[in-house]
Amino acid sequence: MSPAVEVRPPLLERLRDRWAWTAVVANLVGQIVIIVTGGAVRLTSSGLGCSSWPQCEPGEFTPALHAQSSFHPYVEFGNRMVAPVLVVIGLVVAVLVVSENRRPWSYRALGVVPVLGVVVQAVIGGLSVIYDLNPAIVGSHLLISMALVAFSAWLVVRTGEGDAPAVRLVDGTLRILTRVLVALTAVVLTLGVVVTGAGPHSGDSEVGYRFDVDPWLMAKAHAASVWAFVAVLVAILVLLRRSGFRRRPWTAALVVLAVALGQGLIGYVQLFTGLPIALVNLHMLGAALLTTAVTFFVGTTRTRGPAERSSTTPARAVGAQR
């Protein structure tokens, strides 16, 4: 009998086992980064810094440098350049996740969401330029980015767990409150978009207050939704404590509370200090982090067991007879 011959797994499988987790985390980070760079475009009134799409100017892909150049084209072009990076990361995620035949289609389908989302967002970004920063298009641009953050965070959750049937760790009132918390997250984000669109940082210095609503009234409505969010979250924490949770759901809920309180503090400070651009953009970063934290918390309310990794299994060997 000949000596045992070690059979290495296929290259794609080895790449997947080594890089899948890194890829999905990098995608999540990238989805948050593009919200920050997109916020910089809006807050500096650089939305029309490039007057054309996909070119920056007719016949010019990059901003043209001349004596009358402002910084706006470079801010807008810089944000556009984040998208190709996200496309590359999204393609890597799609290949590594979709090709994972050991896992169910429900997980593998998540792998195509990031790259498709970035392509859709690029088109919406182009439409916002073509239609002179229409407020509905600009607002939907940000909300879709937040949805992509949520999908990307959920992909991170699913990549780190197994595929056994989901077992709920919370039920009854806790389960209902968790759903209410998710709904309130959507309300908070939507009202935040309206508040920004109704204020002086609506995206274009020549057309301020792009949403024709009372900005102070909308700020109050937004604050009320945040307080409702915090109240529901505190109720969840109380019930988790009473139910004996001390680890993942409890810790994740505390993280959500910390992010929400930080967001509230930034919101009030920016409101009473004249809405400085840096704080408004920090608030947008906080919104993306809040979306991520809520998604991670939802992931801790049920379990599917640990994810299997072929790299942790012994190398396969076969013997051949003469």
Q: How many domains are contained in the chain?
A: 2
Residue 68 has pLDDT above 70, yes or no: no
170 belongs to a structural domain: yes
Residues 12 and 142 in one domain: yes
Q: How many CA atoms lie within 13 A of 271 on its CB side?
A: 17
Residues 95 and 186 in one domain: no
Residues 21 and 140 in one domain: yes
Residues 35 and 66 in one domain: yes
Residue whose entry in the numeric block shows the structure tokens 């790259």 = 115
Q: Which sign, positive or negative, has the C-alpha torsion 283, 278, 67, 204?
A: positive
Residues 83 and 104 in one domain: yes
Contacts made by residues 268-272, CB under 8 angstroms, sequence distance 24+: 268/223, 271/219
Q: What pLDDT shows up at residue 307?
A: 62
Residues 10 and 153 in one domain: yes
Residues 10 and 121 in one domain: yes
Residues 3 and 147 in one domain: yes
pLDDT tens per residue, range 118-132: 889 888 887 877 777
Residue 115 has pLDDT above 60, yes or no: yes
Question: 10 Å Cβ neighbour count for 260?
Answer: 23
Q: What pLDDT shows up at residue 3?
A: 56
Q: What pLDDT shows up at residue 2?
A: 54
Tell me which of 9-18, 197-206, 208-217, 302-311 is least confident: 197-206
Q: Mean pLDDT over residues 277-292, rounded?
A: 91
Query: Residue 57: which domain range?
Result: 1-163
Residues 170 and 280 in one domain: yes
pLDDT tens per residue, range 8-34: 556 667 766 777 889 999 999 999 999
Residues 132 and 210 in one domain: no
207 belongs to a structural domain: yes
Residues 129 and 105 in one domain: yes
- Give the model's confidence band at 322: pLDDT under 50 very low, under 70 low, under 90 confident, else very high: very low
Q: What pLDDT shows up at residue 187?
A: 95
Residues 199 and 105 in one domain: no
Domain boundary among 144, 163, 182: 163
196 belongs to a structural domain: yes
Lookup: tokens for 249: 């759901």
